[in-house]
Chains A and B, each alone.
Chain A
Amino acid sequence: MSWGIAIRLVALVVLVVFLVQPELFAGVFGALTQNGQPSIYNQGSLLDITLSHLGIVAVATLAATLVAVALAIIVTRPFGAEFLPLSRSLANIGQTFPPVAVLALAVPLLGFGTAPTLVALFLYGLLPIFENTLTGLTSTPPAVVEAARGMGMTGWQRLVRVELPIALPVILGGIRLSVVISLATATIGSTVAARTLGEVIIAGLQSNNTAFVLQGGLIVGVLAVLIYDGLSALERLLLARSGQASRANA
Protein backbone atom coordinates (compact mmCIF):
# COMPACT_ATOMS: atom_id res chain seq x y z
CA MET A 1 0.00 0.00 0.00
CA SER A 2 2.58 2.58 1.08
CA TRP A 3 4.80 1.41 -1.81
CA GLY A 4 1.97 2.16 -4.18
CA ILE A 5 1.59 5.64 -2.74
CA ALA A 6 5.34 6.26 -2.97
CA ILE A 7 5.47 5.24 -6.65
CA ARG A 8 2.52 7.51 -7.46
CA LEU A 9 4.09 10.40 -5.58
CA VAL A 10 7.31 9.97 -7.55
CA ALA A 11 5.33 9.85 -10.80
CA LEU A 12 3.51 13.05 -9.84
CA VAL A 13 6.70 14.87 -8.95
CA VAL A 14 8.45 13.77 -12.14
CA LEU A 15 5.43 14.86 -14.18
CA VAL A 16 5.29 18.31 -12.54
CA VAL A 17 9.04 18.84 -12.94
CA PHE A 18 8.81 17.77 -16.58
CA LEU A 19 5.96 20.19 -17.27
CA VAL A 20 7.70 23.11 -15.58
CA GLN A 21 11.31 22.42 -16.69
CA PRO A 22 11.10 20.13 -19.75
CA GLU A 23 14.69 20.98 -20.81
CA LEU A 24 15.95 18.95 -17.83
CA PHE A 25 14.77 15.87 -19.71
CA ALA A 26 16.34 16.83 -23.05
CA GLY A 27 19.02 14.16 -22.62
CA VAL A 28 16.51 11.38 -21.99
CA PHE A 29 14.40 12.16 -25.04
CA GLY A 30 17.43 13.08 -27.16
CA ALA A 31 18.08 9.39 -27.73
CA LEU A 32 14.80 9.17 -29.65
CA THR A 33 15.52 11.91 -32.16
CA GLN A 34 17.49 11.84 -35.38
CA ASN A 35 19.09 14.41 -37.65
CA GLY A 36 19.28 17.06 -34.93
CA GLN A 37 15.54 17.25 -34.37
CA PRO A 38 14.46 19.08 -31.18
CA SER A 39 14.07 16.55 -28.37
CA ILE A 40 11.55 18.61 -26.36
CA TYR A 41 8.30 19.92 -27.82
CA ASN A 42 9.00 23.49 -28.85
CA GLN A 43 5.81 24.82 -30.43
CA GLY A 44 4.26 25.96 -27.14
CA SER A 45 4.57 25.48 -23.41
CA LEU A 46 3.87 21.88 -22.37
CA LEU A 47 2.50 23.17 -19.07
CA ASP A 48 -0.03 25.44 -20.78
CA ILE A 49 -1.14 22.72 -23.15
CA THR A 50 -1.54 20.24 -20.30
CA LEU A 51 -3.57 22.71 -18.24
CA SER A 52 -5.76 23.44 -21.25
CA HIS A 53 -6.23 19.69 -21.80
CA LEU A 54 -7.19 19.19 -18.15
CA GLY A 55 -9.48 22.21 -18.27
CA ILE A 56 -11.41 20.90 -21.26
CA VAL A 57 -11.77 17.47 -19.61
CA ALA A 58 -12.89 19.10 -16.35
CA VAL A 59 -15.55 21.26 -17.98
CA ALA A 60 -16.87 18.39 -20.09
CA THR A 61 -16.94 16.00 -17.13
CA LEU A 62 -18.63 18.54 -14.87
CA ALA A 63 -21.34 19.16 -17.44
CA ALA A 64 -21.75 15.43 -18.06
CA THR A 65 -21.98 14.81 -14.31
CA LEU A 66 -24.66 17.45 -13.80
CA VAL A 67 -26.77 16.25 -16.71
CA ALA A 68 -26.29 12.51 -16.08
CA VAL A 69 -27.02 12.73 -12.35
CA ALA A 70 -30.06 14.95 -12.92
CA LEU A 71 -31.32 12.56 -15.57
CA ALA A 72 -30.81 9.53 -13.33
CA ILE A 73 -32.63 11.27 -10.49
CA ILE A 74 -35.58 12.13 -12.72
CA VAL A 75 -35.98 8.65 -14.16
CA THR A 76 -35.82 7.04 -10.71
CA ARG A 77 -38.67 9.22 -9.37
CA PRO A 78 -42.22 7.94 -9.78
CA PHE A 79 -43.11 10.71 -12.25
CA GLY A 80 -40.09 10.03 -14.47
CA ALA A 81 -40.08 6.25 -14.48
CA GLU A 82 -41.56 6.08 -17.97
CA PHE A 83 -38.54 7.93 -19.37
CA LEU A 84 -36.10 5.34 -18.03
CA PRO A 85 -35.81 3.25 -21.23
CA LEU A 86 -35.64 6.35 -23.44
CA SER A 87 -32.87 8.01 -21.44
CA ARG A 88 -30.95 4.76 -21.27
CA SER A 89 -30.89 4.42 -25.04
CA LEU A 90 -29.99 8.08 -25.50
CA ALA A 91 -26.97 7.72 -23.23
CA ASN A 92 -26.03 4.51 -25.00
CA ILE A 93 -26.15 6.22 -28.40
CA GLY A 94 -23.89 8.95 -27.03
CA GLN A 95 -21.44 6.23 -26.12
CA THR A 96 -21.49 4.25 -29.38
CA PHE A 97 -21.12 7.30 -31.63
CA PRO A 98 -17.42 7.51 -32.62
CA PRO A 99 -15.88 10.70 -31.18
CA VAL A 100 -14.38 11.53 -34.57
CA ALA A 101 -17.86 11.49 -36.08
CA VAL A 102 -19.15 13.79 -33.34
CA LEU A 103 -16.32 16.19 -34.10
CA ALA A 104 -17.00 16.04 -37.82
CA LEU A 105 -20.68 16.79 -37.25
CA ALA A 106 -20.06 19.48 -34.64
CA VAL A 107 -17.50 21.52 -36.54
CA PRO A 108 -19.91 22.87 -39.18
CA LEU A 109 -22.27 23.91 -36.38
CA LEU A 110 -19.79 25.20 -33.82
CA GLY A 111 -16.74 26.03 -35.87
CA PHE A 112 -13.17 24.99 -35.13
CA GLY A 113 -11.75 25.22 -31.60
CA THR A 114 -12.69 23.96 -28.18
CA ALA A 115 -16.47 23.81 -28.56
CA PRO A 116 -16.85 20.68 -30.72
CA THR A 117 -14.36 18.83 -28.51
CA LEU A 118 -16.35 19.75 -25.41
CA VAL A 119 -19.51 18.44 -27.04
CA ALA A 120 -17.86 15.14 -27.96
CA LEU A 121 -16.36 14.64 -24.49
CA PHE A 122 -19.65 15.60 -22.85
CA LEU A 123 -21.61 13.03 -24.86
CA TYR A 124 -18.92 10.46 -24.19
CA GLY A 125 -18.90 11.08 -20.48
CA LEU A 126 -22.66 10.77 -19.96
CA LEU A 127 -23.16 7.03 -20.02
CA PRO A 128 -20.83 5.78 -17.26
CA ILE A 129 -22.06 8.45 -14.85
CA PHE A 130 -25.69 7.89 -15.75
CA GLU A 131 -25.48 4.12 -15.40
CA ASN A 132 -23.64 4.31 -12.09
CA THR A 133 -26.00 6.89 -10.63
CA LEU A 134 -28.90 4.71 -11.68
CA THR A 135 -27.31 1.69 -9.98
CA GLY A 136 -26.57 3.71 -6.85
CA LEU A 137 -30.03 5.17 -6.55
CA THR A 138 -31.86 1.90 -7.17
CA SER A 139 -29.75 -0.27 -4.90
CA THR A 140 -30.46 1.51 -1.62
CA PRO A 141 -31.33 -1.27 0.86
CA PRO A 142 -35.15 -1.64 0.91
CA ALA A 143 -35.29 -1.51 4.72
CA VAL A 144 -33.49 1.84 4.63
CA VAL A 145 -35.95 3.28 2.11
CA GLU A 146 -38.86 1.89 4.13
CA ALA A 147 -37.50 3.46 7.31
CA ALA A 148 -37.00 6.82 5.61
CA ARG A 149 -40.58 6.77 4.35
CA GLY A 150 -41.97 5.51 7.62
CA MET A 151 -40.32 8.32 9.56
CA GLY A 152 -42.02 10.93 7.44
CA MET A 153 -39.33 12.11 5.02
CA THR A 154 -40.74 13.69 1.89
CA GLY A 155 -39.55 12.40 -1.49
CA TRP A 156 -37.05 15.24 -1.77
CA GLN A 157 -35.71 14.66 1.76
CA ARG A 158 -35.26 10.97 1.05
CA LEU A 159 -33.31 11.78 -2.10
CA VAL A 160 -31.02 14.37 -0.56
CA ARG A 161 -30.50 12.89 2.90
CA VAL A 162 -30.55 9.18 2.21
CA GLU A 163 -30.43 8.03 -1.39
CA LEU A 164 -27.79 10.38 -2.82
CA PRO A 165 -25.34 10.12 0.11
CA ILE A 166 -25.53 6.34 0.01
CA ALA A 167 -25.13 6.33 -3.79
CA LEU A 168 -22.29 8.88 -3.80
CA PRO A 169 -19.37 6.42 -3.92
CA VAL A 170 -20.96 4.56 -6.84
CA ILE A 171 -21.62 7.85 -8.66
CA LEU A 172 -18.01 8.80 -8.12
CA GLY A 173 -17.00 5.50 -9.73
CA GLY A 174 -18.91 6.58 -12.84
CA ILE A 175 -17.21 9.97 -12.84
CA ARG A 176 -13.84 8.25 -12.57
CA LEU A 177 -14.49 6.15 -15.68
CA SER A 178 -15.79 9.18 -17.52
CA VAL A 179 -12.73 11.30 -16.69
CA VAL A 180 -10.31 8.66 -17.87
CA ILE A 181 -12.16 8.16 -21.15
CA SER A 182 -12.24 11.93 -21.67
CA LEU A 183 -8.54 12.35 -20.92
CA ALA A 184 -7.69 9.97 -23.75
CA THR A 185 -10.40 11.11 -26.14
CA ALA A 186 -9.51 14.79 -25.73
CA THR A 187 -6.32 14.24 -27.73
CA ILE A 188 -8.44 13.87 -30.87
CA GLY A 189 -9.71 17.41 -30.27
CA SER A 190 -6.42 18.76 -31.63
CA THR A 191 -7.57 17.78 -35.12
CA VAL A 192 -10.20 20.51 -34.89
CA ALA A 193 -7.83 22.99 -33.24
CA ALA A 194 -8.69 22.48 -29.60
CA ARG A 195 -5.66 23.06 -27.41
CA THR A 196 -4.99 19.56 -26.05
CA LEU A 197 -2.03 17.23 -25.74
CA GLY A 198 -3.05 15.69 -29.05
CA GLU A 199 -1.25 18.65 -30.57
CA VAL A 200 2.09 17.37 -29.28
CA ILE A 201 1.44 13.87 -30.60
CA ILE A 202 0.31 15.14 -34.01
CA ALA A 203 3.33 17.41 -34.31
CA GLY A 204 5.53 14.40 -33.58
CA LEU A 205 3.76 12.27 -36.18
CA GLN A 206 4.00 14.98 -38.82
CA SER A 207 7.71 15.62 -38.29
CA ASN A 208 8.50 11.96 -37.66
CA ASN A 209 9.74 12.91 -34.16
CA THR A 210 9.22 9.99 -31.78
CA ALA A 211 10.22 12.10 -28.77
CA PHE A 212 7.21 14.39 -29.27
CA VAL A 213 4.80 11.50 -29.69
CA LEU A 214 6.12 9.88 -26.55
CA GLN A 215 5.92 13.11 -24.55
CA GLY A 216 2.28 13.73 -25.46
CA GLY A 217 1.36 10.12 -24.82
CA LEU A 218 3.21 9.85 -21.52
CA ILE A 219 1.69 13.00 -20.07
CA VAL A 220 -1.83 11.80 -20.90
CA GLY A 221 -1.07 8.32 -19.57
CA VAL A 222 0.44 9.44 -16.30
CA LEU A 223 -2.38 11.95 -15.74
CA ALA A 224 -4.97 9.23 -16.37
CA VAL A 225 -3.36 6.81 -13.94
CA LEU A 226 -2.93 9.43 -11.21
CA ILE A 227 -6.47 10.79 -11.50
CA TYR A 228 -7.92 7.27 -11.67
CA ASP A 229 -6.07 6.20 -8.53
CA GLY A 230 -6.86 9.43 -6.71
CA LEU A 231 -10.57 9.09 -7.38
CA SER A 232 -10.47 5.39 -6.43
CA ALA A 233 -8.95 6.31 -3.09
CA LEU A 234 -11.62 8.98 -2.55
CA GLU A 235 -14.27 6.41 -3.37
CA ARG A 236 -12.93 3.97 -0.77
CA LEU A 237 -12.85 6.76 1.78
CA LEU A 238 -16.46 7.67 1.03
CA LEU A 239 -17.55 4.05 1.24
CA ALA A 240 -15.96 3.74 4.65
CA ARG A 241 -17.45 7.06 5.78
CA SER A 242 -20.91 6.04 4.68
CA GLY A 243 -20.70 2.75 6.52
CA GLN A 244 -20.39 0.69 3.37
CA ALA A 245 -16.83 -0.37 4.00
CA SER A 246 -17.66 -3.97 3.15
CA ARG A 247 -18.31 -2.76 -0.39
CA ALA A 248 -15.02 -0.85 -0.43
CA ASN A 249 -12.98 -4.04 -0.54
CA ALA A 250 -15.22 -5.71 -3.08
Chain B
Amino acid sequence: MIEIDDVSRLYGGVPVVDHVTLTIQPRTICVVVGTSGSGKTTLLRMINKLVNPSSGSLRIDGEDIAGIPAYELRRRIGYAIQGHGLFPHRTVGQNIATVPKLLGWDKAKTADRVDELLTLFQLDPQAFRDRLPHQLSGGEQQRVGVARALAAKPNILLMDEPYGALDPVIRAKAQHDLLAIQRKLGTTIVLVTHDMEEAIQLGHTIAVMAHGKLLQSATPTEIIGHPATPFIAELIGSSERPFRLLALSRVADHIEPGVAEGAPIDADASLRDAYADMLWSARSAMPVTRHGEIVGRLTLDALAKLAARPQ
Protein backbone atom coordinates (compact mmCIF):
# COMPACT_ATOMS: atom_id res chain seq x y z
CA MET B 1 0.00 0.00 0.00
CA ILE B 2 1.23 3.48 -0.86
CA GLU B 3 -0.02 6.31 1.33
CA ILE B 4 0.56 9.84 0.14
CA ASP B 5 -0.30 12.07 3.07
CA ASP B 6 -0.85 15.78 2.58
CA VAL B 7 2.21 16.06 0.33
CA SER B 8 3.31 19.32 -1.27
CA ARG B 9 6.30 20.25 -3.35
CA LEU B 10 7.29 23.81 -4.07
CA TYR B 11 9.66 25.13 -6.71
CA GLY B 12 10.68 28.73 -6.13
CA GLY B 13 7.82 29.17 -3.69
CA VAL B 14 5.21 27.94 -6.17
CA PRO B 15 3.43 24.70 -5.30
CA VAL B 16 3.77 22.20 -8.12
CA VAL B 17 2.15 19.47 -6.04
CA ASP B 18 -0.31 21.00 -3.63
CA HIS B 19 -1.51 19.15 -0.51
CA VAL B 20 -2.16 15.84 -2.23
CA THR B 21 -3.54 12.96 -0.17
CA LEU B 22 -3.97 9.66 -1.97
CA THR B 23 -3.93 6.02 -0.93
CA ILE B 24 -3.10 3.35 -3.45
CA GLN B 25 -4.28 -0.12 -2.49
CA PRO B 26 -1.95 -3.08 -2.89
CA ARG B 27 -2.20 -5.05 -6.14
CA THR B 28 -4.13 -2.33 -7.95
CA ILE B 29 -3.36 0.03 -10.79
CA CYS B 30 -3.73 3.71 -10.01
CA VAL B 31 -3.56 5.98 -13.03
CA VAL B 32 -2.70 9.62 -12.45
CA VAL B 33 -4.15 11.80 -15.23
CA GLY B 34 -3.95 15.50 -15.84
CA THR B 35 -2.90 18.08 -18.36
CA SER B 36 0.73 18.94 -19.00
CA GLY B 37 2.41 20.63 -16.05
CA SER B 38 -0.21 19.52 -13.52
CA GLY B 39 2.44 17.89 -11.31
CA LYS B 40 1.93 14.21 -12.18
CA THR B 41 5.58 13.41 -12.76
CA THR B 42 6.63 15.32 -9.65
CA LEU B 43 4.12 13.36 -7.56
CA LEU B 44 5.31 10.06 -9.03
CA ARG B 45 8.99 10.87 -8.47
CA MET B 46 8.33 11.60 -4.83
CA ILE B 47 7.34 7.96 -4.33
CA ASN B 48 10.89 6.79 -5.11
CA LYS B 49 12.57 9.86 -3.63
CA LEU B 50 13.82 11.27 -6.91
CA VAL B 51 12.09 14.39 -5.58
CA ASN B 52 11.72 15.17 -1.89
CA PRO B 53 8.44 16.62 -0.65
CA SER B 54 8.50 20.14 0.78
CA SER B 55 5.92 19.04 3.32
CA GLY B 56 3.79 16.01 4.10
CA SER B 57 4.86 12.37 4.21
CA LEU B 58 4.76 9.21 2.12
CA ARG B 59 4.47 5.70 3.50
CA ILE B 60 4.94 2.36 1.79
CA ASP B 61 3.31 -0.54 3.62
CA GLY B 62 3.13 1.68 6.67
CA GLU B 63 6.82 2.65 6.66
CA ASP B 64 7.71 6.32 6.22
CA ILE B 65 10.05 6.50 3.21
CA ALA B 66 11.88 9.48 4.71
CA GLY B 67 13.78 6.97 6.85
CA ILE B 68 14.84 4.69 3.97
CA PRO B 69 18.07 5.48 2.05
CA ALA B 70 17.10 6.60 -1.46
CA TYR B 71 19.15 4.03 -3.37
CA GLU B 72 17.77 1.21 -1.23
CA LEU B 73 14.18 2.31 -1.71
CA ARG B 74 14.66 2.66 -5.47
CA ARG B 75 15.97 -0.87 -5.83
CA ARG B 76 12.70 -2.07 -4.29
CA ILE B 77 10.53 -0.03 -6.64
CA GLY B 78 10.36 -0.58 -10.40
CA TYR B 79 10.59 2.57 -12.48
CA ALA B 80 9.77 2.84 -16.18
CA ILE B 81 9.96 6.19 -17.92
CA GLN B 82 8.93 7.64 -21.22
CA GLY B 83 11.76 7.25 -23.68
CA HIS B 84 12.65 4.11 -21.72
CA GLY B 85 16.16 5.35 -20.73
CA LEU B 86 17.84 2.08 -21.69
CA PHE B 87 21.62 2.11 -21.31
CA PRO B 88 22.88 2.39 -24.89
CA HIS B 89 26.19 0.64 -24.17
CA ARG B 90 24.66 -2.42 -22.55
CA THR B 91 22.89 -5.34 -24.15
CA VAL B 92 19.21 -6.01 -23.58
CA GLY B 93 20.16 -8.75 -21.11
CA GLN B 94 22.55 -6.51 -19.19
CA ASN B 95 19.97 -3.73 -19.09
CA ILE B 96 17.35 -6.02 -17.60
CA ALA B 97 19.90 -7.38 -15.12
CA THR B 98 20.73 -3.92 -13.74
CA VAL B 99 18.86 -4.03 -10.44
CA PRO B 100 19.47 -7.76 -9.75
CA LYS B 101 23.17 -7.00 -10.19
CA LEU B 102 22.95 -4.03 -7.82
CA LEU B 103 21.27 -6.32 -5.32
CA GLY B 104 24.01 -8.91 -5.70
CA TRP B 105 21.97 -11.76 -7.19
CA ASP B 106 24.13 -14.62 -8.43
CA LYS B 107 24.75 -15.02 -12.15
CA ALA B 108 22.56 -18.05 -12.78
CA LYS B 109 19.56 -16.61 -10.98
CA THR B 110 19.95 -13.31 -12.86
CA ALA B 111 20.28 -15.03 -16.23
CA ASP B 112 17.16 -17.11 -15.55
CA ARG B 113 15.25 -14.00 -14.57
CA VAL B 114 16.33 -12.17 -17.73
CA ASP B 115 15.11 -14.99 -19.95
CA GLU B 116 11.89 -15.33 -17.96
CA LEU B 117 11.11 -11.63 -18.41
CA LEU B 118 11.99 -11.58 -22.10
CA THR B 119 9.62 -14.50 -22.61
CA LEU B 120 6.93 -12.78 -20.55
CA PHE B 121 7.19 -9.77 -22.86
CA GLN B 122 7.17 -11.97 -25.95
CA LEU B 123 10.76 -11.30 -26.92
CA ASP B 124 12.68 -14.43 -27.84
CA PRO B 125 15.61 -14.58 -25.36
CA GLN B 126 17.91 -16.17 -27.95
CA ALA B 127 17.30 -13.39 -30.42
CA PHE B 128 17.15 -10.41 -28.09
CA ARG B 129 19.38 -11.05 -25.07
CA ASP B 130 22.61 -9.93 -26.68
CA ARG B 131 21.36 -7.09 -28.82
CA LEU B 132 22.07 -3.46 -28.07
CA PRO B 133 19.06 -1.17 -27.47
CA HIS B 134 19.57 0.73 -30.73
CA GLN B 135 19.03 -2.53 -32.59
CA LEU B 136 15.42 -2.73 -31.35
CA SER B 137 12.23 -1.09 -32.56
CA GLY B 138 10.59 1.54 -30.38
CA GLY B 139 7.97 -0.92 -29.15
CA GLU B 140 10.61 -3.50 -28.28
CA GLN B 141 12.70 -0.90 -26.45
CA GLN B 142 9.63 0.08 -24.45
CA ARG B 143 8.97 -3.55 -23.46
CA VAL B 144 12.60 -4.01 -22.42
CA GLY B 145 12.29 -0.84 -20.33
CA VAL B 146 9.31 -2.29 -18.45
CA ALA B 147 11.00 -5.70 -18.17
CA ARG B 148 14.03 -3.99 -16.65
CA ALA B 149 11.80 -2.20 -14.15
CA LEU B 150 10.28 -5.54 -13.10
CA ALA B 151 13.56 -7.46 -12.95
CA ALA B 152 14.03 -7.63 -9.19
CA LYS B 153 10.37 -8.53 -8.61
CA PRO B 154 9.36 -5.22 -7.08
CA ASN B 155 5.98 -4.99 -5.36
CA ILE B 156 5.57 -1.51 -6.75
CA LEU B 157 6.01 -0.30 -10.32
CA LEU B 158 6.04 3.38 -11.22
CA MET B 159 5.43 4.24 -14.87
CA ASP B 160 5.69 7.73 -16.32
CA GLU B 161 3.90 7.95 -19.68
CA PRO B 162 5.37 4.62 -20.72
CA TYR B 163 3.36 4.46 -23.95
CA GLY B 164 3.66 8.08 -25.07
CA ALA B 165 5.96 7.30 -27.98
CA LEU B 166 4.15 4.23 -29.33
CA ASP B 167 1.77 4.06 -32.27
CA PRO B 168 -1.87 3.32 -31.39
CA VAL B 169 -1.79 -0.36 -32.40
CA ILE B 170 1.37 -1.17 -30.45
CA ARG B 171 0.13 0.94 -27.54
CA ALA B 172 -3.13 -1.00 -27.30
CA LYS B 173 -1.16 -4.23 -27.30
CA ALA B 174 1.26 -2.96 -24.65
CA GLN B 175 -1.64 -1.87 -22.44
CA HIS B 176 -3.30 -5.23 -22.82
CA ASP B 177 -0.04 -6.98 -21.92
CA LEU B 178 0.46 -4.74 -18.91
CA LEU B 179 -2.97 -5.67 -17.54
CA ALA B 180 -2.23 -9.37 -18.01
CA ILE B 181 1.17 -9.05 -16.34
CA GLN B 182 -0.26 -7.02 -13.46
CA ARG B 183 -2.94 -9.67 -12.85
CA LYS B 184 -0.33 -12.39 -12.97
CA LEU B 185 2.25 -10.75 -10.69
CA GLY B 186 -0.05 -8.75 -8.43
CA THR B 187 2.18 -5.68 -8.72
CA THR B 188 0.94 -2.34 -7.41
CA ILE B 189 1.25 0.07 -10.31
CA VAL B 190 1.17 3.85 -10.36
CA LEU B 191 0.98 5.03 -13.96
CA VAL B 192 1.08 8.62 -15.17
CA THR B 193 -0.59 9.66 -18.42
CA HIS B 194 -2.43 12.59 -19.93
CA ASP B 195 -4.65 10.29 -21.94
CA MET B 196 -8.04 9.73 -20.25
CA GLU B 197 -8.76 6.82 -22.58
CA GLU B 198 -5.64 5.07 -21.30
CA ALA B 199 -6.58 5.87 -17.71
CA ILE B 200 -10.04 4.31 -18.09
CA GLN B 201 -8.61 1.30 -19.84
CA LEU B 202 -5.94 0.55 -17.24
CA GLY B 203 -6.91 2.05 -13.92
CA HIS B 204 -8.62 0.40 -10.99
CA THR B 205 -8.60 3.91 -9.64
CA ILE B 206 -8.06 7.14 -11.51
CA ALA B 207 -6.55 10.18 -9.81
CA VAL B 208 -7.17 13.41 -11.71
CA MET B 209 -4.75 16.29 -11.15
CA ALA B 210 -4.83 19.93 -12.18
CA HIS B 211 -2.45 22.71 -11.12
CA GLY B 212 -0.84 20.48 -8.54
CA LYS B 213 -4.09 19.61 -6.80
CA LEU B 214 -5.78 16.23 -6.72
CA LEU B 215 -9.32 16.90 -8.01
CA GLN B 216 -10.84 13.44 -7.72
CA SER B 217 -9.70 9.91 -7.03
CA ALA B 218 -12.20 7.17 -7.78
CA THR B 219 -13.01 4.13 -9.89
CA PRO B 220 -13.42 4.69 -13.63
CA THR B 221 -17.17 4.08 -13.39
CA GLU B 222 -17.47 6.69 -10.69
CA ILE B 223 -15.33 9.21 -12.56
CA ILE B 224 -17.32 8.76 -15.77
CA GLY B 225 -20.70 8.79 -14.01
CA HIS B 226 -20.02 11.47 -11.47
CA PRO B 227 -17.11 13.68 -12.42
CA ALA B 228 -16.34 15.94 -9.46
CA THR B 229 -15.65 19.06 -11.51
CA PRO B 230 -16.52 20.38 -14.97
CA PHE B 231 -12.83 20.05 -15.87
CA ILE B 232 -12.94 16.28 -15.29
CA ALA B 233 -16.15 16.01 -17.33
CA GLU B 234 -14.33 17.82 -20.09
CA LEU B 235 -11.38 15.44 -19.87
CA ILE B 236 -13.76 12.51 -20.29
CA GLY B 237 -15.65 14.21 -23.12
CA SER B 238 -19.41 14.25 -22.61
CA SER B 239 -20.24 12.61 -25.93
CA GLU B 240 -17.87 9.77 -25.10
CA ARG B 241 -19.28 8.91 -21.69
CA PRO B 242 -21.65 6.03 -22.57
CA PHE B 243 -19.06 4.34 -24.76
CA ARG B 244 -16.34 4.68 -22.14
CA LEU B 245 -18.69 3.09 -19.64
CA LEU B 246 -19.34 0.19 -22.00
CA ALA B 247 -15.62 -0.21 -22.63
CA LEU B 248 -15.16 -1.00 -18.93
CA SER B 249 -17.23 -4.22 -18.98
CA ARG B 250 -16.74 -7.57 -20.64
CA VAL B 251 -19.36 -9.37 -22.68
CA ALA B 252 -18.89 -12.36 -20.38
CA ASP B 253 -20.60 -10.59 -17.49
CA HIS B 254 -23.80 -9.82 -19.40
CA ILE B 255 -24.70 -12.99 -21.27
CA GLU B 256 -28.39 -13.85 -21.45
CA PRO B 257 -29.85 -17.20 -22.36
CA GLY B 258 -31.33 -17.44 -25.83
CA VAL B 259 -30.30 -17.48 -29.47
CA ALA B 260 -29.44 -14.79 -31.98
CA GLU B 261 -28.60 -14.49 -35.64
CA GLY B 262 -25.33 -13.59 -37.34
CA ALA B 263 -21.64 -13.57 -36.48
CA PRO B 264 -20.90 -14.30 -32.80
CA ILE B 265 -18.71 -12.25 -30.45
CA ASP B 266 -16.18 -13.63 -27.98
CA ALA B 267 -17.06 -13.48 -24.28
CA ASP B 268 -13.75 -11.69 -23.60
CA ALA B 269 -14.53 -8.74 -25.84
CA SER B 270 -15.57 -5.42 -24.33
CA LEU B 271 -19.19 -4.29 -24.44
CA ARG B 272 -18.11 -1.33 -26.52
CA ASP B 273 -16.86 -3.61 -29.27
CA ALA B 274 -20.05 -5.65 -29.04
CA TYR B 275 -22.14 -2.50 -29.30
CA ALA B 276 -20.25 -1.25 -32.34
CA ASP B 277 -20.62 -4.64 -33.98
CA MET B 278 -24.37 -4.76 -33.35
CA LEU B 279 -24.96 -1.26 -34.71
CA TRP B 280 -22.84 -1.97 -37.74
CA SER B 281 -24.57 -5.24 -38.58
CA ALA B 282 -28.02 -3.77 -37.73
CA ARG B 283 -28.96 -6.43 -35.20
CA SER B 284 -30.70 -6.18 -31.84
CA ALA B 285 -28.96 -9.26 -30.41
CA MET B 286 -25.86 -11.33 -31.12
CA PRO B 287 -24.64 -14.80 -30.14
CA VAL B 288 -21.77 -15.02 -27.63
CA THR B 289 -19.04 -17.65 -27.85
CA ARG B 290 -16.54 -18.88 -25.33
CA HIS B 291 -13.71 -21.11 -26.56
CA GLY B 292 -15.55 -21.34 -29.86
CA GLU B 293 -18.83 -22.61 -28.37
CA ILE B 294 -22.03 -20.60 -28.29
CA VAL B 295 -22.95 -19.90 -24.67
CA GLY B 296 -25.84 -17.42 -25.00
CA ARG B 297 -26.58 -14.02 -26.43
CA LEU B 298 -26.18 -10.32 -25.80
CA THR B 299 -28.99 -7.84 -26.46
CA LEU B 300 -29.00 -4.21 -27.50
CA ASP B 301 -31.53 -3.49 -24.75
CA ALA B 302 -29.12 -4.72 -22.09
CA LEU B 303 -26.34 -2.57 -23.55
CA ALA B 304 -28.52 0.52 -23.62
CA LYS B 305 -29.22 0.10 -19.89
CA LEU B 306 -25.53 -0.42 -19.11
CA ALA B 307 -24.52 2.66 -21.07
CA ALA B 308 -26.80 4.94 -19.05
CA ARG B 309 -25.40 7.14 -16.30
CA PRO B 310 -24.78 5.00 -13.20
CA GLN B 311 -26.98 5.88 -10.20
Within 8 A of B (CB), among A89-127: none
Q: Are B88 and A153 in contact (CB under 8 A)?
A: no
8 Å CB interface, A130-184 against B: 141, 143-144, 146-154, 157, 162, 165-166
The yes or no answer to A246 lying at the interface (CB within 8 A) is: yes
Taking the closest CB of chain B, its distance from the CB of A234, in whole angstroms, is: 15
B71 contacts chain A at the CB level, 8 A cutoff: yes
Q: Among the listed stretches B76-84, B108-116, B293-301, which one makes contact with chain A, having 4 or more residues with CB under 8 Å of it?
A: B76-84
Mask of B78-103 contacts with A, CB within 8 angstroms, 1/0: 01011111111110000000110010
Q: Determine which of B70, B76, B79, B102 lies in contact with A147 in the assembled complex, contact meaning CB atoms within 8 Å.
A: B79
Per the bound structure, the CA–CA distance linking A144 and B86 in Å amounts to 6
Query: A144 touching B81 by the CB < 8 A rule?
Result: no
Contacts of A162 in B (CB 8 A): 87
Please name all residues of chain A whose beta carbon is closer than 8 Å to the beta carbon of B148 when the two chains form the complex. 151
How far is B238's CA from A231's CA once the two chains are assembled, in angstroms? Answer: 64
Q: Is A242 an interface residue (CB 8 A)?
A: yes
Q: How far is the CB of B34 from chain A (nearest CB, A)?
A: 20
> Is the beta-carbon distance between B134 and A149 smaller than 8 angstroms?
no
CA distance A162 to B75 in the complex (A): 17
B89 touches A165 (CB 8 A): yes
A154 cross-chain contacts in B, Cβ below 8 A: 71
With CB as the reference atom, state the residue of chain A lying closest to B103.
Answer: A152
**A243 interfacial by beta-carbon distance below 8 Å:** yes
Task: Identify which of residues 92-143 in chain B touch chain A, using a CB-to-CB cut-off of 8 Å.
Answer: 98-99, 102, 132-135
A150 CA to B159 CA in the complex, in Å?
A: 11
Contact in complex: A152, B85 (CB < 8 Å) = no
Beta-carbon contact of B75 and A152 below 8 Å: yes
Residue from A146, A148, A157 having most chain B Cβ neighbours under 10 A = A146
Annotate A188-202 by CB proximity to B: 1 below 8 A, 0 otherwise: 000000000000000
Q: How many angstroms between the C-alpha atoms of A245 and B132 in the bound complex? A: 11
A149 CA to B51 CA, complexed, in Å: 11
CA distance A165 to B148 in the complex (A): 20
Contact of A150 among B48, B83, B90, B135 (CB under 8 A): B48
What class of interface size applies to chain B in its complex with A? 20 to 34
Q: How far is the CA of A165 from the CA of B94 in the complex (A)?
A: 14
CA distance A239 to B82 in the complex (A): 24
What is the minimal beta-carbon distance from A248 to any residue of chain B, in angstroms?
A: 11
Q: Is the CB of B71 within 8 A of A153?
A: yes
Residues in B lying within 8 Å of A, measured CB to CB:
48, 50, 70-76, 79, 81-90, 98-99, 102, 132-135, 145, 148-149, 158
A residues contacting B by CB (< 8 A) are: 141, 143-144, 146-154, 157, 162, 165-166, 241-246
Closest 8 CB pairs of A and B: A147-B85, A152-B74, A242-B89, A152-B75, A243-B88, A143-B85, A150-B79, A243-B132
A–B pairs, 30, beta carbons within 8 Å: A141-B85, A141-B88, A143-B81, A143-B82, A143-B83, A143-B85, A144-B85, A144-B88, A146-B50, A146-B85, A147-B85, A150-B48, A150-B50, A151-B74, A151-B75, A151-B99, A151-B149, A152-B70, A152-B71, A152-B73, A152-B99, A152-B102, A153-B71, A162-B87, A242-B89, A243-B89, A243-B134, A244-B88, A244-B89, A245-B134
